[in-house]
Amino acid sequence: MSDKLRAFSGQIVAVLIALAMGAVIIMLIDESPIKVFMTLMRGAFGDQAKIAGTLLQTTPILICGIAACIGLRGGMFNVGIEGQLFLGGFAAAWVGFAMPLPAGLHVVVAMAVAVIAGAAWVSIPAFFRVRYGTNEVVSTILSNYVAVLLTSYLTIFLFKRPGGWSETPPILATAYLPELFAFSRLNWGLIIGLVLALFVAWFFRHTAKGYSISMVGSAPKFAEYGGIDVKRQGFLVLLASGAVGGLAGGIETLGVHHRFMEGFAPGFGFDGLIAALLANGSPIGTIVTALFFGALRNGSLLLETDTNASREIITVIQALIILSVSAQVLMKRRGDSTAGERRWKF
């Protein structure tokens, strides 16, 4: 337990170091760090609507983060969550506008199709990863670009809303994910995300399957000698991760935009991956880190109008956080020098 506490304090120190470095960068571009941070706070938690907005941004980051957690736990780097998100978002929209179904059933079918789309999109890199050892980091990154272009093509050339530009027709009201409050677009997606995080955490902690996945992730050789079918399991891990990525896109479409648009959810996949890394692959921890990043993202909308800094400054801060966490992890571990073994351990 104290070990866990120490790891947790390490993350906080890393965040503080990154924020300090971010402050220096903000000063370099001639802006006051205090003003920027206050603006971020105000933009994230200023009033009821702002808080709801923060939670709205948190939702996709959380679900993408869970997708990343599943992969990381199983020793798979799914960097293609962004692509799965786009595919899932498009698939859900397609079911939403092209397939009239009774209320209640419609939204469930749309989400299921989003899940399948995400899993299908990652299945090819996953197959080559487990069968021939093709590096999944590179193949999933490259497939992101294809996914974004493919969904844009489908949207603009095949399913364009008449009279609209680079968006599909709106989905039918039966496919809407219900909203939680009247004053915001915040919807049931957040609840789904939280339940999913709890479920995945329970799964890894209390089921035999979850244990064997973690074992493959942290010690693949040991797991292999222990009789686990590492390849089959690796494939299923990537598939599950992709499925959750697809779900994130489906929820974004059905709950927020009610249509698929070109560039509808930029960067959520990467934010989710970063949130999962910062949380050390823990789904519960990812709730906290996703909220943090969601607040940064929502707060950053005010930066553009109220300060000279651009909203991408938060991307810089996020990257710095991960860099300082990665350095920290190893500072703690310098004692046991397992040279050459440089995998991120969970």
Partner 1 sequence: MEILSLFNVALIVATLRMTAPILLVALGGSFTTKAGIFNIGLEGQMLVGAFFAVLGSIWSGSALVGVACGVAAALVFALAFAVLVVSFRANEVVVGLALNILAGGMTISLMKAIFGTRGSIVGKGIVGLPKVQIPGARDLLGSWAPLINGFTPMVYVAFIAVPLLVVFYKRTRLGLYIRVVGEKPEAAEALGISITRVRYIASLLCGLLAGLAGAHLSLGYITMFTENMSSGRGFMAVAILIFSNGSPLKVLAGCLLFGFADAFSLRLQTFGFPSYLILAVPYLVALTALFALSYRSRPKIIRETLESMRKLLSVENKPAETGK
In one-letter notation, the amino acid at residue 236 is: L
User: Taking the complex as a whole, how short is the minimal distance between the CB of residue 327 and partner 1, in angstroms?
Assistant: 5
How many separate helices (H) and strands (E) can be counted in the chain?
Answer: 13, 0
User: Taking the complex as a whole, how short is the minimal distance between the CB of residue 308 and partner 1, in angstroms?
Assistant: 7
User: Taking the complex as a whole, how short is the minimal distance between the CB of residue 153 and partner 1, in angstroms?
Assistant: 4
| Torsional class of 184: left (φ above 0), alpha (ψ -120 to 50), beta (otherwise) | beta
User: Taking the complex as a whole, how short is the minimal distance between the CB of residue 209 and partner 1, in angstroms?
Assistant: 13
Instruction: Choose between 187 and 300: whose C-beta lies nearer to partner 1.
Output: 300
User: Two tokens at 78?
Assistant: 């799914």
User: Taking the complex as a whole, how short is the minimal distance between the CB of residue 243 and partner 1, in angstroms?
Assistant: 21
Place of tokens 């960097």: 79
Helix axes 189-206, 283-306, angle to 10 degrees: 150
DSSP label at 252? I
Do 292 and 310 form a contact (C-beta atoms < 8 A)? no
Instruction: Choose between 120 and 329: whose C-beta lies nearer to partner 1.
Output: 329
Instruction: Choose between 16 and 29: whose C-beta lies nearer to partner 1.
Output: 29
> Which residues have a Cβ under 8 Å from the Cβ of 177 and sit 6 or more positions away?
107, 187, 188, 189, 251, 254, 255
Instruction: Choose between 78 and 187: whose C-beta lies nearer to partner 1.
Output: 78
Instruction: Choose between 29 and 108: whose C-beta lies nearer to partner 1.
Output: 29
In whole angstroms, what is the distance from residue 251 CA to residue 230 CA?
Answer: 31
Instruction: Choose between 9 and 308: whose C-beta lies nearer to partner 1.
Output: 308
Q: 179 pairs with which residues across the strands?
A: 187
User: Taking the complex as a whole, how short is the minimal distance between the CB of residue 304 and partner 1, in angstroms?
Assistant: 9
Do 270 and 82 form a contact (C-beta atoms < 8 A)? yes
In whole angstroms, what is the distance from residue 240 CA to residue 245 CA?
Answer: 9
Instruction: Choose between 172 and 303: whose C-beta lies nearer to partner 1.
Output: 303
**Chain contacts with partner 1 (rule: CB under 8 A):** 25, 29-31, 77, 79, 124, 128, 131-135, 137-139, 141-143, 145-146, 149-150, 152-153, 156-157, 224-225, 227, 270, 273-274, 277, 308-310, 312-316, 318-320, 322-323, 326-327, 329-331, 333-334, 337, 339-340, 342-344
In whole angstroms, what is the distance from residue 41 CA to residue 35 CA?
Answer: 10
User: Taking the complex as a whole, how short is the minimal distance between the CB of residue 271 and partner 1, in angstroms?
Assistant: 9
CB atoms within 10 A of CB 35: 15
